[in-house]
Amino acid sequence: MSEYQIRPLSADELRHAVDWAGREGWNPGLRDAACFRSTDPDGFLGGFLEGEMIASVSAVNYDDAFSFLGFYIVRPEFRGSGHGLEIAQHAMAHCTGRNMGLDGVVEQQDNYRKSGFVFAYNNYRFSGTVSGILSRLPDIEIATVSVTGCTAELRDYDRDLFPARRDAFLDGWLSAQGHVSRTCFQEGRITGYATLRPCLTGYKVGPLFADDTAVAQALLSGLLADIPAKDATAEVYIDMPQPNATAFELANALGLEKVFETARMYSDHEPQIDLDRVFGITTFELG
């Protein structure tokens, strides 16, 4: 077997991995590579055979207790050769001692279980058009405002709904070119926030964090109103956790179609976060 090298990816090489994700049908955001890498530059690994990248994986450490696995891709012509397993083992070593999460395709659940992961719940990707969603959103007298920077209050709100603080990620996510974020204040406190980003196809909303359905609707209305009229028929995707029945009711009310499913799994335990306020997760790749 030719020498197989595994090492952290450069910024340019990570963009190749994001391109691979696009070819796999995962529809990444246009600025995902830069936003993701800022969280843990050493957490994005590539497998190189004779200098050519043939595999990728991300194992992003958010802190000393939590990490997330993603971008696990082997080029089709090299699958079944053991290269994927080897790079996955390197990823796990990068996250030693941490509870690791992942969103895996359902048919790979058994393989993840063999590596020690335990099923927590499913996430479902829902899709609808900009104009279709806007036409079904009710008039709600809840104001939302543009997010111009990541405040301490917003970081704290995010931490209640994500398994770890992710300050570096949020700084890049909220300021990335093309990303639009809005938040809702009621009685002097944050009751929700959300981000819209352009993707290879259409747009994704993530996160969509809200204290209740009305706030989620207000955030969606504010975000989609910022999309140019020429994109009225573009698809909008929201990845919703199955335990949040209210989110699924909202998807049904908006006429959204279920188009994809993942299995959220953890290597140690399911973190204690309030999924009833998670109307849309941030990404399948980084949690």
Give me the CATH number covering residue 139: 3.40.630.90
- The rounded radius of gyration (Å) of the Cα atoms in the chain is 19
Q: Are residues 180 and 259 in the same domain?
A: yes
Q: Are residues 83 and 201 in the same domain?
A: no
The residue-averaged pLDDT of 119-126 equals 97
Q: Are residues 233 and 131 in the same domain?
A: yes
Model confidence at 226, in pLDDT bands (50, 70, 90)? confident
Report cis status (omega within 30 of 0) of the bond before 8: no
Q: Is residue 271 part of a domain?
A: yes
Q: Are residues 85 and 159 in the same domain?
A: no
Q: Is residue 206 part of a domain?
A: yes
Q: Are residues 84 and 138 in the same domain?
A: no
Residue 286 to residues 2, 37, 96, 173, Cα–Cα distance (Å): 32, 10, 17, 12
Q: Is residue 285 part of a domain?
A: no
Q: Are residues 98 and 152 in the same domain?
A: no
pLDDT, position 2: 65
Q: Are residues 155 and 259 in the same domain?
A: yes
Q: Are residues 148 and 211 in the same domain?
A: yes
Average pLDDT of the chain to the nearest whole number: 94
pLDDT, position 1: 47
Work out the percent of the chain whose per-residue pLDDT is above 90: 85
Question: Distance (Å, rounded) from C-alpha 140 to C-alpha 158?
Answer: 24
Domain that holds residue 68: 4-111
The residue-averaged pLDDT of 148-159 equals 94
